[in-house]
């Protein structure tokens, strides 16, 4: 089974629960107060699971679009910046959240940095994604 054949929400949720078992992946100190972008008013409400969900989402996006860098991932997690009555403009998401999550995924040997290209999913990370997608598709049938 492939990551493209299962629903992304289910895949990310189940990978997030598996990432909690990795000792390298922990929410940084004070991250429960971080906003996900400068145009947001509040930090995420689900503070216990947010970090693991974001790491799982980043792992999936690196697999799907890799090799990819922090700046491109910031575009994925961006949104609409609404300031006053004028036109709305797009804005990027938080770079620190993406960068720290990628560093933790690298320490867990799930993502590998390729020189001058960006980051790609390692064989261990691919195995985790594919096995999880397979179990999701088996339970669906």
Tell me what pLDDT residue 47 has.
66
Kindly give the confidence (pLDDT) of every residue in the chain, 141 residues in length, as a single tens digit, with 9 standing for 90 and above.
677 888 888 888 898 888 888 888 888 787 676 676 666 666 676 767 888 888 898 988 888 887 888 888 888 877 777 777 877 777 777 777 888 888 888 888 888 888 888 888 888 888 888 888 888 888 765
CB neighbours of residue 124 within 10 Å: 13
Please report, for the chain, the start and end positions of each structural domain, with discontinuous segments joined by +.
8-140
Phi, psi (degrees; rounded to nearest 5) at 48: -70, -40
CATH topology of domain 8-140: Arc Repressor Mutant, subunit A (1.10.10)
DSSP string, 111-132: EEEETTTEEEE-HHHHHHHHHH
Tell me what pLDDT residue 38 has.
64
Tell me what pLDDT residue 40 has.
65
- Is the distance from CB of 54 to CB of 20 less than 8 angstroms? no
Nearest to 36 by CA among 16, 14, 51: 51
């Amino acid at each position: 089974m492939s990551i493209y054949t299962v629903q992304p929400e289910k895949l990310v949720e189940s990978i997030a629960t598996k990432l909690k078992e990795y000792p390298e992946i922990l929410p940084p100190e004070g991250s429960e107060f971080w906003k996900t972008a400068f145009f947001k008013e509040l930090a995420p409400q689900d503070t216990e699971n947010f970090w693991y969900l974001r790491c799982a989402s980043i792992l999936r996006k690196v697999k799907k679009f890799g090799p990819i860098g922090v700046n491109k991932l910031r575009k994925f997690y961006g949104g609409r910046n609404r300031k006053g009555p004028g036109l709305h403009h797009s804005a990027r998401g938080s770079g620190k959240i993406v960068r720290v999550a990628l560093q933790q995924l690298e320490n867990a040997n799930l993502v590998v940095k390729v020189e001058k290209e960006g980051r790609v999913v390692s064989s261990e990370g691919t195995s985790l994604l594919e096995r999880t997608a397979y179990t999701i598709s088996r339970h669906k049938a």
